[in-house]
Structure 1
Amino acid sequence: MDRRDFLKKGTAAAGLAASSRVLQPLAAAGTPAAFPNRALGKTGEHLSIIGFGGIVVTDTAQSVANDLVAEAFDRGINYFDVAPTYGNAQERLGPALEPYRQRVFLACKTTKRDRAGAKAELDESLKLLRTDHLDLYQLHALTKMEDLETALGPNGAMETYVKARQEGKVRFIG
């Protein structure tokens, strides 16, 4: 196992371990173990205060991804986030999330700034994640004014986002 894999898997394990420490007093008190959550703005959604970063399943066996997602869901985590830039994370997360898809909030993002690139990446993400919609689709790593102007300008990625929302492929835009 190289350093990157060690850190990635260690972070996932630490997150799950921390969640058990948070939930243990609740379970001991005889109440259901539900991870604390917060409202997401005015969306009406209530998301777990800790999310599942899809990058942790990159280059793992599908069975490991399935186990990590099941453990997270069982502990009350309902926010899952992934991106095409996370290697094969979407390929692993899609099948792992299938049993839970209607009960979780799935966020994805793109680094594409043009309409065509964002559409192609959105369609591929939907396919790999085995879902007909994303709950949140975001502009990933938007750090330069030039990228913002391109994404929001004519033929920019935002045109894809708006159309995808109208078509029911995306619920919220970020």
Structure 2
Amino acid sequence: MSQKTLHDLHRPLGSTGLLVSPLGLGTVKLGRDQGVKYPSGFQIPDDTDARLLLDLAQELGINLIDTAPAYGRSEERLGPLLRGQRDRWVIVSKVGEEFADGLSHHDFSATHTRRSVERSLTRLETDRIDLVLVHSDGNDLAVLREHEVYETLAALKAEGKIGAYGFSGKTVEGGLLALERGDCAMVTYNLNEQGERPVLDYALQHGKGIVLKKALASGHVCLEPGVDPVRASFELAFAHPAVASAIVGTINPLHLSHNVATAADVIRALRAG
């Protein structure tokens, strides 16, 4: 395999039994262009461009795809786009946040959680979602302690509708409780924000999965001249052995190829070092 792909760099996601590529493809830009925090505007790609992007991701060794009901039409577009290749992908989706008419709202009830997962299964045209994360509103401990979302996900896992479950939160306390009771946490960890590092440390000690969001600070990383922000970001991310994968949300094929080549170089250098 080429040195510049991730095919031979897949790693376990905690104790879930899933093997994931070190970079995952985030798909918010396939379905939503309102209320997103990127430094420049973008156009949602049509089906032809979206299919080319997914094909390229696969060629580059990416097998993890990240979506959510809050990503507009992302799930319902991915269903047809991934037809006939479901077994090649590890699909991550979410529950808890809905996006409609330009606004987000949250619902962590048992009824909504189950309905949301059933709807995602239909949209994604699959009978099983590999990992479902709770899309927190920031009140992480309240979401976990006062609502039935985690218990409902545990039941859906027992029924075989989801493979694993976890939490995409915003606090250390939430991340730790989520890992204590679940399989995986999605955390923010980048050159600008490293406050959630204790969650990574806990995951490493307890065999739990970690997926990074905003590893490139949603495109906002700024460093002194001459320093490649992508390389520096990946050096930080992959230096922590708990990190299984980092989600990148680009729809630009050149950016995706550059990200993969850089991540492959960084991971091989860390292994050799």
The TM-score, its normalising length taken from structure 2, stands at: 0.49
The match for 1:9 is none
Amino acid at match of 1:52: L
CA contact (8 A) 1:109 1:140 kept: yes
Pairing partner for 1:136 from 131, 143, 155: 131
1:142 is displaced (CA, Å) by 4.9
CA contact (8 A) 1:107 1:135 kept: yes
Q: What 5-or-longer segments of structure 1 have no aligned partner?
A: 1-22
Amino acid at match of 2:56: E
Map 1:73-88 to 2 at 5 A: 73-88=58-73
CA distance in 1, matches of 2:18, 2:151: 25
Amino acid at match of 2:143: D
Identity of aligned residues (%): 30
Q: What 5-or-longer segments of structure 2 have no aligned partner?
A: 32-43, 97-106, 167-273
**Does the residue aligned with 1:121 lie in a helix, a strand or coil?**
helix
Give 1 or 2: higher strand fraction: 2
Question: Residues 146 and 76 of structure 1: is their aligned pair in 2 closer, same or farther, counting only changes over 3 Å?
Answer: same
CA distance in 2, matches of 1:47, 1:80: 10
Q: After alignment, is 76-85 or 41-50 more displaced? A: 41-50
Q: Say if 2:20 is the partner of 1:47.
A: yes
CA distance in 2, matches of 1:45, 1:117: 26
1:170 is displaced (CA, Å) by 0.4
Q: Say if 2:170 is the partner of 1:169.
A: no
The match for 1:104 is 89
Give 1 or 2: higher helix fraction: 1
Amino acid at match of 2:59: D
The TM-score, its normalising length taken from structure 1, stands at: 0.74
Give the count of matched residue pairs.
Answer: 143
CA distance in 2, matches of 1:75, 1:104: 13
Q: After alignment, is 96-105 or 119-128 more displaced? A: 96-105
Alpha-carbon RMSD across the aligned residues, in angstroms, is 2.0
Question: Residues 148 and 43 of structure 1: is their aligned pair in 2 closer, same or farther, counting only changes over 3 Å?
Answer: closer
CA distance in 2, matches of 1:160, 1:167: 11
CA distance in 2, matches of 1:80, 1:90: 11
Amino acid at match of 2:125: R
Q: Which ranges of 4 or more aligned residues in structure 1 deviate by more than 6 Å?
A: none
The match for 2:46 is 61
Q: Say if 2:149 is the partner of 1:147.
A: no
Per-residue Cα deviation, 1:104-147 (whole angstroms, up to 9, x for no partner): 11011112310001111111111111111100011112521322
Q: Say if 2:121 is the partner of 1:126.
A: yes
Q: After alignment, is 105-114 or 141-150 more displaced? A: 141-150
CA distance in 2, matches of 1:43, 1:119: 21
Question: Which protein, 1 or 2, shows the higher relative CO under an 8 Å CA cutoff with sep ≥ 6?
Answer: 2
